[in-house]
Amino acid sequence: MTDAPATPIKRYATASDYVSLMKPRIMMLVVFTAAAGLVAAAGVTGTPIHPLMAAIALLAVALGSGAAGAINMWFDSDIDAIMTRTSTRPIPSGAVPREEALTMGLIMSGVAVMLMWLASNWLAAALLAFSIFYYGVIYTMWLKRSTPQNIVIGGGAGAFPPVIGWAAVTGNTPLDAWILFAVIFFWTPPHFWALSLLAHGEYEKAGVPMLPVTHGAKATRLQMLLYTIVLVPLALTPLLTGLGGWIYGVTAGLLGAVFFGYAVRVFMSRAGDADCTAAEKKLARSMFLFSILYLFLVFAALIVEHAAGLYFPVKGF
């Protein structure tokens, strides 16, 4: 006797499915880093911004991030269906039709850019439009399936929010804004590869050329260490320009030391190898989670300094 094939349970899209399309967890980090750029710009340059305009600018960043997420899910629905981690997303699970996700992404992109222009200036709106294009087209449609450097170059998309926040206040993008961009840019590879060390089998199954799939776990662990070696001192450069004070310096220094410690331990381990132990897998996962905490606290330190009036410059720099 043979079992009858399981009939998929019919699902009807709810509002939460559409929220899932916007990748809300990524959106939170994007909005937070944009807020840090916005607050730091106001603190450093003394340029005032109307609180409501600032809130609308941040909402525009959130909508832009959601739009890029929806476009990404539309294009990647084929590989999302193959990977276990992503198979429950709204499109592969059958809750939301692909065309709806694309339509939603495109409309939200337009709304986000327009709101940003209304609330701030053309430069911030143009940067937001470019970052949506960068994530939705350059990363998702081109880099992701064609090169193991996909998340290195594609990381640029996630690095734009603080620059957008800065531009929304001042109408320009000075060196300080690009330092924040660089911090996120160099943070992305060790952050993402820590996760892909655990899920490289899934990426291989879906035919996505992530670094652990194409070059192996050992080469990935080395690359993670190298990017962390660049990131940790880079995160201290705001002390040189006056963007960060004592609170920022201590936070970035201590957390950077811990991040570097994780990178060394993961490099020395066999995490991602076929014969790695559960403890080594756990170590890679811990590094992934810590990397999120690192970015959150480093940018939170900037917000605390410039929003709460706790900026104490580091003398001697």
Partner 1 sequence: MTEKPDPYPGEFTTAPQMDPEAIRARKKRNVWLGLALFGFVVLVGITTVIRLAGADLSNGAGFYYNASDSQGKKAEQPALPPGMTEDQATPPAPSPEESPE
In the complex, the smallest distance separating the C-beta of residue 128 from partner 1, rounded to whole angstroms, is 15
Stretch that binds partner 1, among 14-22, 84-92, 124-132, 174-182 (CB under 8 A): 14-22
Torsion angle of the four alpha carbons 190, 196, 200, 206, in this order, in degrees rounded to the nearest 10: -120
Residue 260 binds partner 1, judged by CB under 8 A: no
Report the residue number, 46 or 316, with the smaller CB distance to partner 1: 46
Residue whose structure tokens are 């960060």 = 244
Residue 236 binds partner 1, judged by CB under 8 A: no
Helix, strand and coil content of the chain, in percent to the nearest 5, comes to 75, 0, 25
Q: What beta strand segments (E) does the chain contain?
A: none
Residue 13 binds partner 1, judged by CB under 8 A: yes
Among 3, 12, 99, 275, binds partner 1 (CB under 8 A): 12
In the complex, the smallest distance separating the C-beta of residue 105 from partner 1, rounded to whole angstroms, is 14
Stretch that binds partner 1, among 111-119, 205-213, 285-293, 309-317 (CB under 8 A): 111-119
In the complex, the smallest distance separating the C-beta of residue 119 from partner 1, rounded to whole angstroms, is 5
Report the residue number, 56 or 137, with the smaller CB distance to partner 1: 56
Q: How far apart are CA 172 and CA 126, in angstroms?
A: 12
Among 14, 87, 103, 277, binds partner 1 (CB under 8 A): 14
Site string for partner 1, 45-64 (x = CB under 8 A): -----x-xx--x--x-----
Q: How far apart are CA 154 and CA 138, in angstroms?
A: 7
Q: What is the DSSP letter of 98?
A: H
In the complex, the smallest distance separating the C-beta of residue 94 from partner 1, rounded to whole angstroms, is 13
The residue type found at 153 is I
Report the residue number, 59 or 219, with the smaller CB distance to partner 1: 59
Residue whose structure tokens are 């929304």 = 168
- Closest C-alpha among 36, 42, 86 to residue 61: 36
Stretch that binds partner 1, among 10-18, 69-77, 143-151, 249-257 (CB under 8 A): 10-18
Residue 18 binds partner 1, judged by CB under 8 A: yes
> Which residues, at least 6 apart from 258, have a Cβ–Cβ distance to it below 8 Å?
290, 294
Residue 85 binds partner 1, judged by CB under 8 A: no
- Closest C-alpha among 169, 161, 160 to residue 120: 169
Q: 205 and 83 in contact (C-beta within 8 Å)?
A: yes
Q: How far apart are CA 32 and CA 296, in angstroms?
A: 8
Residue 118 binds partner 1, judged by CB under 8 A: yes
Question: Interface residues with partner 1 (CB under 8 A)?
Answer: 12-15, 18, 50, 52-53, 56, 59, 111, 115, 118-119
